[in-house]
Amino acid sequence: MIGWLLLEKRLSGKATTLGAASGAVAGLVAITPAAGFLSPLPALLLGITAGVASLFAIRLKFRFRYDDSLDVVAVHYVGGVIGTLFIGLFAAVAVNPTVRHEGLLLGGGLTQLARQGLGVLAATAFAFLATYAIAWALRATIGLRVTPDDESDGLDSSQHAESAYEFTATSGLGRTS
């Protein structure tokens, strides 16, 4: 969260609550694979790195104009990849005695980093192929997108026939007269 907020403040002049939440999630996603293998300082570095990288990934989303309304790729994929690779850089026997190959930056060589990289590639390929198959099946049956008119009207109205919020000119947000 700290990494995200510092970079967000530097780039846009303001740190946001959405940025704080997204940065916290990115850090939590990143530490999940690495929690049993890193000492506290590499874990702190991991959190900062994941926050910064995830914010840059979101900025790339806008530059390349791909549709990811929940920032799943930027926050979860990027954070997860970084956390997984950090094991190859900082895995420590002192933290987990079952570690057979310490991380590269702790003198363990490239073995663990290469294994982590291979794991990232395998998981990426599996996730891509499974998602592609699911999307293909959905497109063939019920479709993947709503019409532009439904999207413009709002999905609450067009898909659910209800409104999450009621706006009136005289009553303000959420209150009815």
The C-alpha atoms of residue 25 and residue 75 are separated, in whole angstroms, by 7
The C-alpha atoms of residue 29 and residue 3 are separated, in whole angstroms, by 14
DSSP letter for each residue of 133-172: HHHHHHHHHT-SS--HHHHHH-HHHHHHSS-SS-EETTTE
The C-alpha atoms of residue 12 and residue 4 are separated, in whole angstroms, by 12
pLDDT at 165 (0 to 100): 75
Output the tens digit of pLDDT for each of the chain's 177 residues: 999 999 999 999 999 999 999 999 999 999 999 999 999 999 999 999 999 999 999 999 999 988 888 899 999 999 999 999 999 999 999 999 999 999 999 999 999 999 999 999 999 999 999 999 999 999 999 998 888 888 888 888 888 888 777 766 665 555 554
Q: What letter would DSSP give residue 35?
A: T
Sequence spans of domains, the chain:
2-126
The C-alpha atoms of residue 10 and residue 89 are separated, in whole angstroms, by 28
